[in-house]
Structure 1
Amino acid sequence: MITTSSLRHLRIPFSLFLMPVFFFALALTPNHNESRILWVFLALHLFLYPSSNGYNSYFDKDEESIGGLKHPPKVTKDLYWLSLVFFLVALGIGATINFSFAGMLLVYGLVSMAYSHPSIRLKKYPWLSWFIAGLFQGYFTFGMAYAGLSNLSWDVLTKSHVLLPGLLTSLMLWGNYPLTQVYQHGEDSRRGDRTLSLVLGIKGTFLFAALVFMCTGAAFAWYFLARNQTQILWIYLAAMTPIMLYFLTWFNFVRLNPEKYANYSWAMGMNYFSALALNAFFIYYFLKNTQILQALGV
């Protein structure tokens, strides 16, 4: 029997935060096919990511707030099996496109399992977990989505037109990732997990994120200018403005009272601001880059 708590731990709405990577890949994909767009989207956001969420929740057994759940319910055994079923469905969908895409889904799933599984538990290693999480949720996912959308194989991951924008998405995630841990110091410490945010400290986490955000902005500026897309750059900067204003406001409050403001509500607000602004930008970039807007006379 599938319990309500297990369905909640899948945190399907949390997939919203990783959608910008998909839409960026979609914007740069030259071979659009409506069926592949739908199936790749479903494989990633309805099955693969929720499977990862549920699997990690099962082994973490968090009692305090986690991403997407302010008050996580107690995990039950069916969550473990439900997460595996979702994983198998994702692989099945991937196989209908091609076996390379299914293989990429498999690798992503296994790496995400290693994040919390007690026999490996990458979460115990602050810099390694930070690097791997950003690399796989960014660059690898970008290449995986690109391969699925275009019906391509593994070698696409080494192509410069995939490698460069893929690394840009990793940069975005490397900046934001420690911020998602900033309110979990107490529980992580009790469990023996040394997350990057715990190592950096609360204020150090914000300073580190600010540095990576600046590098990310400069890298995207270089990328759009190199493609002679000055107008896109200005729209990108406009999309980033509310995110940065939110971040700076939050940072200012944290400087005054870290214990009070380095909390779940502010962290989720940062995630929602980022997801909404970046999803809107990359959807626009997709419509502009594929000349759909021009065809509509916009």
Structure 2
Amino acid sequence: MYLSVMISRATVLHLRIPFSYYLMPVFLLAWAIQPLEVETWRLVSTFLILHLFLYPASNAFNSYHDKDEGSIGGLENPPPVSKELLHTANLMDMMALIMAYVLSPLFALLLLAYTLASRAYSHPSVRLKKYPLISWVVAGVFQGFVTVWMSFEGLHATGIPMLLEPEVYLPALLSSLMLMGSYPMTQVYQHQEDRQRGDRTLSLLLGIRGTFHFTMLVFTVATAAFVAYFYQQNPWLALAYPLVLSPVLFYFFRWYLRVRKNAQAADFHATMRLNFISATCLIVFFLLSGWLKFPFLWTLF
């Protein structure tokens, strides 16, 4: 990567570019929900803006202000941060905004809103992360609903009227519900460091077992809502959704049983495995959903 020869290895690590894989399902949901053909250049450009610029810049900005010494999402042993990391985050955010504006001014506006929310999450002058319910809602809304809108606008540039259509805003709402269920699980191994830093995350408030119970409840509701939504689109999708996600449930419950015996099992590696399995299953499903909705894609196989 050209950027990596200009900045230090520590900064490259804090960008956590591979972590973007876990966020890819929301982009693919935006691609799959509407039967509109996407120009290849828009598809590639929107994907790169989000996954190689926006998300890594957000990771870098948060890492700079968090100054974590323990494991964080996608990085088991984070190196010390420097001003270079902040400058890199600012530069990548600016590049993302400029490229997004070329695709659509509304895309750039939504991307700016995401960036500001992400920065408010960790910046010491606001630090939404200190407030368990506010940070939970903000993360769910912006990583779910706003990201679906943002991705859809980048892919199609249809403007606000189309974003307000049920075909777009309903799955966007469901994506937020799903993320609000899984979000506390991403914090379950960071309780000690969050407590020391004074960040009262929702997972810390719930406790380790409470986090698992909360995720079970919200994930069940979100799954039922998605099944109902997909049934209206295609009954086969409604059947496929829980089947494709079954590995997530299998791993989650096995992990839960281990945690009941030993709370130390709620660690970084187990959390990252859950994230990987969940992201992979959702990627497979949304690709399947897109292929069913876009018959012209069948010719690729």
Give the alignment's TM-score, normalised by structure 1: 0.96
Q: Which amino acid in 2 is paired with 1:250?
A: W
Select which of 272, 279, 293 maps to 1:275.
279
Select which of 171, 178, 181 maps to 2:184.
178
Identify which range, 152-161 or 39-48, moves more after superposition: 152-161
Q: For residues 155 and 225 of structure 2, what CA distance do their matches in structure 1 show?
A: 25
Shift of 1:53: 0.4
1:108 aligns with 2:110: no
SS in 2 for 1:193: coil
1:42-77 residue CA offsets vs partner (Å, 9 max, x unmatched): 110110000000000000000000000011111111
1:147 aligns with 2:153: yes
Determine if contact 1:100/1:152 at 8 Å carries over to the other structure.
no
2:252 maps to what in 1? Answer: 247
2:270 maps to what in 1? Answer: 266
1:77-125 residue CA offsets vs partner (Å, 9 max, x unmatched): 1000001111111111101111111111111111100000000001001
Structure 1: segments with no counterpart, 5+ residues: none
Select which of 183, 197, 220 maps to 1:191.
197
Q: Which amino acid in 2 is paired with 1:262?
A: A
1:287 maps to what in 2? Answer: 291
Q: For residues 24 and 185 of structure 2, what CA distance do their matches in structure 1 show?
A: 18
Structural mapping, 1:28-67, within 5 Å: 28-29=33-34, 30-67=36-73
SS in 2 for 1:69: coil
Structural mapping, 1:74-223, within 5 Å: 74-223=80-229
Determine if contact 2:104/2:153 at 8 Å carries over to the other structure.
no
Identify which range, 231-240 or 203-212, moves more after superposition: 231-240
SS in 2 for 1:152: coil
- Equivalences, count: 295
Q: Which amino acid in 2 is paired with 1:129?
A: S
2:237 maps to what in 1? Answer: 232
Structure 1 vs Structure 2: percent identity of aligned residues? Answer: 47
1:8 maps to what in 2? Answer: 13
SS in 2 for 1:134: helix
Give the alignment's TM-score, normalised by structure 2: 0.95
1:27 aligns with 2:24: no
Q: Which amino acid in 2 is paired with 1:239?
A: V
Determine if contact 2:130/2:201 at 8 Å carries over to the other structure.
yes
Q: For residues 189 and 265 of structure 2, what CA distance do their matches in structure 1 show?
A: 9
SS in 1 for 2:20: helix
4+ residue runs of structure 1 moved beyond 6 angstroms? none
Q: Which amino acid in 2 is paired with 1:246?
A: Y
